[in-house]
Amino acid sequence: FRFKDSLAEDLRRADLVISHAGAGSCLETLEKGKPLVVVINEKLMNNHQLELAKQLHRDGHVLCCNCSTLVETLQSMDLSTLKPFPPGQPEKFALFLDKVVGFQ
């Protein structure tokens, strides 16, 4: 998609998501419990997407490839090996933040 206000309905209906490794795209997909193949854009300056993609892959949450290995990845993938992404815990962050700024 070039631009879309929300991908929520597309994600809800998807059986598999293929995406770049942007944090928002990855986390929104994983929070919906959808299997994710992350395609790293190796031409990005400092390649910040690579760090996130590799960590999510090491943790077993995504499959990871680049443009030249995408077809091979899709042909050989085993989605049953992917681990569910744990739900966020915003209350823990809020408690931490309260402690840091002195509200506790």
Instruction: Give the Cβ contact number of residue 61 at 10 Å.
Output: 20
Contact criterion met (CB below 8 Å) for 35 and 17 = yes
- Which CATH number applies to 5-99? 3.40.50.2000
Whether the per-residue pLDDT at 1 is higher than 80: the answer is no
DSSP-derived letter for residue 90 is H
Q: What is the pTM of this model?
A: 0.80
| CA distance between the termini of the chain | 45
52's torsion region: left (phi>0), alpha (psi -120 to 50) or beta?
alpha
pLDDT tens digits along 46-68: 777 888 899 999 999 999 999 99
